[in-house]
Amino acid sequence: MSDIHAPGGPIPEVPYDLTVPQFLLDIDWHPARPALLSRAPCMIEDATGRAISFDEVRARTIALANVLHSRFQIRDNDVVCICTPNHVDFPVVALAAQKLGAVVTASNPAYTASDLEYQLRITNAKILILHPWNLAVGHAAAKAVGLPLERTILFDVAESSEPSQAYPTVSELVKEGSAKPQSFTERRLGPNEGKTKLAYINLSSGTTGKPKAVCIPHSAVIAGMIQQGHMLEQDTTPWDDRKYRPGDRWYAALPFFHIYGLVGIMHFALFYGTTLVVVPKFSFEGMLKSIQRHKIRMLPAVPPIVVLLCKNPEVNRYDLSSLRLVMCGAAPLSAELINQLSARLPWISIGQGYGMTEAVGSVCFPQLEQKICSPGSAGRLVPGLTARVVRSDGSLAGLGELGQLVIKSDAIALGYLNNEEASKETFVDGWLYTGDEVYINDKYEVFITDRIKEILKVKGFQVAPSELEGHLLDHPDVSDVCVVGIPDEYNGELPFAFVVLSAEAIQRIKEFPAEAESIRAAVMKHVSDNKVQYKWLAGVEFVESVPKNPSGKLLRRELRDRAKDMLAKGKLLLVSTKGRVRPKL
């Protein structure tokens, strides 16, 4: 079988000489962009109901770029770090930095100080723009890397009663920049420079150690928007029945620092003319209230949200009749969940998509002609993408046959920052090796059957088992360890550790059998005290040895299968953790 070309292509030409802010803010027409005769608000701040217009986003972007240049000396190729939950000024900050030629790295606001320190250090960030909720962590991380604290800016918070005297806010700087003559010359790109000029550096967990920094050029972000827009522009469904329409309201609680929220939601909404109801902190009841209050039509979701929609009785207390589409990504939905959701909300459409940071958003998108997506499908290949299914021996598989998904398109990252070895493994001659085992049917739908790379997906976030293993080996009671993913309906997967105890710990348990539970709790706490919450262990099983091949490589699949078997038989002990209570089986 030769290359598999996604249906609906080719896509309109990608402008390789434009930056993301120029493409979004300055170009009124593009073949993949609908006519926006009366543009709806770009965003609505969920907490206050404040509407933000497209013109306001453009004006605030220019004003902030002005003061970032004049006051903070942000220049071409400097890195600006944004650490915040979703905020209506997130796109303003990102686009302002990129107008100056700077590169944006977006950080998870749930990070610990050491996590953020790592991101600041590897990206060499020159300025840190924080939500007040993250000020303590940001302060500690900045000090650790030697970033002067006066290079800290805060996002505005409506509910904050005490303005910070130490750090300026984005709104204060916008006001300052608006009052000054323009001090900067906007960064313009030469022919084809958009293919190499970086717009974002996003972190993505790798198979070994710390997360890798993915280098995303301007043209890849633009191509991702064009792919999605071109597909939607081909929709011939009657207007009232369309899943995606300019002017509709989308719920925006999925994080903008994640590639799904960044490109598939935030950037594409600005491009396509939809309105984002921006929510900084997800709560299920808050989501239901927002759908009812704002008449939200499209709900981007991950499986945990779908589980709650299916099973939480609070759903019956709210008017969700405006909702027309639940678009699920980041992890696969089971056929059972799809059927349960359809029975609970029978008027909605349900779709699934699939993407990754290295693919700058979407690889697959829900089938527009289907009300309910094909069970088990990750969606259909997006237009403008070419795929291969590669067997373990390097030969190409045909439709319906298993192999690793390998893709090529304009929406592909350049590689990993300062990590040539990892880049050569994943990015080969213009092709991206996804690490996912799949098969593709004759409708160009992708079905993911396994993960070849040893990455877990917890609530859509990537977790590298080797990172947790390295950390666990620092615990004095652990002599060897293997971390695997166990299936979980709510989270997708959860990390579970098979631990070989030290001789001293084994002796303590022989003398005092109750010590086993103390050691198990201490091992769990060793992770929860030092890692972001989605990396916390769901449980620990003590074993005599960890299986390995003759060269010493962990036979992770063997323990993963063992964990699934134990789970099915009710023999796997899952321990409650703060914020993620699990039953003991």
Residue 270 in any domain: the answer is yes
pLDDT tens digits, the chain, 585 residues: what are they?
A: 589 999 988 999 999 999 999 999 998 789 999 887 567 899 999 989 999 999 999 999 999 999 999 999 999 999 999 999 999 999 999 999 999 999 999 999 989 999 999 999 999 999 999 999 999 999 999 999 999 999 999 999 876 545 556 899 999 999 999 999 999 999 999 999 999 999 999 998 654 457 899 999 999 999 999 999 999 988 888 888 888 999 999 999 989 998 989 999 999 999 999 999 999 988 899 999 999 999 999 999 877 788 789 888 899 999 999 999 999 876 667 777 788 899 999 999 999 888 889 999 789 988 888 888 887 788 999 999 999 999 988 899 989 998 999 999 999 999 999 999 989 999 999 999 998 888 999 999 998 876 666 678 887 787 878 778 878 888 989 888 888 888 887 788 899 999 989 889 999 999 998 899 999 999 999 999 888 888 999 999 999 888 875 445 577 778 888 888 888 888 787 764 333 433 332
Residue 151 in any domain: the answer is no
Residue 464 in any domain: the answer is yes
What pLDDT was estimated at residue 62?
97
CATH code of the domain in which 483 resides: 3.30.300.30
Residues 232, 305 within the same domain: yes
Residues 416, 539 within the same domain: no
Residue 101 in any domain: the answer is no
β 51-52/361-365 pair status: unpaired
Where among 401, 422, 451 does a domain terminate? 451
* Residue type present at position 581: V
Residues 398, 466 within the same domain: no
Residue 573 in any domain: the answer is no
Where among 451, 473, 505 does a domain terminate? 451
- As given in the structure block, the two tokens for residue 385 are 């993408």
Residues 414, 435 within the same domain: yes
Residues 420, 517 within the same domain: no
What pLDDT was estimated at residue 584?
34
* Residue type present at position 139: H
Q: Exposure of 51 by Cβ count < 10 A (0-12 exposed, 13-18 middle, 19+ buried)?
A: middle
Where among 431, 451, 471 does a domain terminate? 451
* Domain interval for residue 296: 4-13+216-451
Sheet holding 212-217, edge to edge: 152-154, 125-130, 79-83, 103-107, 198-204, 212-217, 415-416
Residues 303, 436 within the same domain: yes
Residues 6+ apart with CB under 8 A from 94: 80, 82, 104, 106, 200
Dihedral of alpha carbons 26, 257, 174, 193, sign: negative
* Residue type present at position 311: K
SS3 of residue 480 by DSSP: strand
Residues 413, 505 within the same domain: no
Q: Give the global pTM.
A: 0.82
SS3 of residue 252 by DSSP: strand
Residue 89 in any domain: the answer is no
DSSP H helical segments within 297-348, as ranges?
A: 303-311, 335-344
Q: Do residues 397 and 1 touch, judged by C-beta distance below 8 A?
A: yes
Residue 398 in any domain: the answer is yes
Residues 386, 474 within the same domain: no
Residues 399, 358 within the same domain: yes
- As given in the structure block, the two tokens for residue 331 are 């992890």
- Report the candidate in 522, 534, 523 with the shortest Cα–Cα distance to residue 580: 534
Q: Do residues 373 and 367 touch, judged by C-beta distance below 8 A?
A: yes
Residue 360 in any domain: the answer is yes
DSSP H helical segments within 376-530, as ranges?
A: 420-426, 465-472, 503-511, 515-528
Residues 346, 479 within the same domain: no
State how far the Cα of 459 lies from the Cα of 461, in Å rounded to an integer. Answer: 6
Residues 544, 526 within the same domain: yes
Q: How far from the centroid of its chain's Cα atoms is residue 516's Cα?
A: 37
CATH code of the domain in which 308 resides: 3.40.50.12780
Sequence-ordered strand ranges (E) for 208-360: 212-217, 249-252, 275-278, 298-301, 325-328, 349-352, 354-356
Residue 388: phi and psi, rounded to 5, are -130, 150
Q: Total structural domains in the chain?
A: 2
What pLDDT was estimated at residue 585?
27
Residues 233, 291 within the same domain: yes
What pLDDT was estimated at residue 579?
39
